[in-house]
Amino acid sequence: MASKNTLAEIKRNVEHLVGEKVRLKANKGRKKVSIKEGILETTYPNIFVVRIDGGYNSVRRVSYSYSDILTETVEITLCSNEKKVQVS
């Protein structure tokens, strides 16, 4: 079970990236991996939201929980300097 300190630390690391362009690498299961780039829009107590610009004036928002980062289901990388959000 994850400790609250670890999740709080991940949340703090993600909060520093609000407004930045990030790359998401999400494990969808069964050897399926989705890689998308977007802007980290907002953070909430249990989730964070990333805005992904699709083609043809469409905007899509995806949300993930901080525990997804802890379990390494989702990896966030800052696009400007290729720095990953640390688990601990």
Whether 63 and 14 have beta carbons less than 8 Å apart is answered as no
pLDDT tens, residue by residue, 10-60:
999 999 989 999 999 999 888 899 999 999 999 999 999 999 987 788 899
Is domain 4-78 given the CATH code 2.120.10.30 in the classification?
A: no
Q: Where are the domains of the chain?
A: 4-78
Instruction: Compute CA distances 55 → 28, 50, 58, 60, whole Å.
Output: 22, 16, 6, 10
**Ramachandran angles phi, psi of 55, nearest 5°:** -80, 165
pTM for the full predicted model:
0.82
Task: Pick 55 or 61 by higher pLDDT.
Answer: 61
